[in-house]
């Protein structure tokens, strides 16, 4: 285990080639902030978000994570946003 940790800390791509690669993934894309509240469950919740709020607040943070942070993927949220499921809605497919 020690060589694995040392290779990760070293940052040398050649020294980690024999080890599993990992990537940070921002999660709950997009407009998700609910586990359970007022009888609503995350699996069935439909967040009503204006286009401006979606662009200025929610999508901006994920855009920064992708462009500035260089993340390798995103984890979709469970909920719907404006009636569309996040895992397959037009925002997910077309904007990101």
Highest mean pLDDT, choosing among 31-45, 57-71, 73-87:
57-71
- The DSSP string of the chain is -HHHHHHHHH--GGGGTTS-------EEETT---SEETTEETTT-EE---HHHIIIIIIHHHHHHHHTT--S--EEPSSEETTEETTTSHIIIII-
Distance CA 92, CA 22 (A): 23
Neighbour order of strands in the sheet with 84-85? 46-47, 80-81, 84-85
Give the pLDDT score at 89: 66
Tokens representing 34 are: 């609910």
Q: What is the pTM of this model?
A: 0.62
- Average pLDDT over every residue of 30-57: 78
Give the pLDDT score at 52: 92
């Amino acid at each position: 285990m020690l060589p694995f940790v040392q290779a990760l800390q070293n940052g040398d791509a050649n020294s980690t080639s024999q080890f599993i690669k990992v990537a940070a993934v921002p999660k709950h894309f997009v407009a998700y902030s609910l586990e359970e509240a007022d009888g609503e469950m995350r699996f069935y919740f439909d967040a009503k978000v204006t286009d401006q709020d979606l662009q200025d607040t929610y999508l901006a943070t994920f855009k920064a994570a992708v462009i500035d942070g260089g993340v390798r993927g995103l984890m979709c949220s469970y909920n719907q946003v404006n009636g569309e499921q996040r895992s397959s809605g037009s925002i997910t497919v077309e904007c990101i």
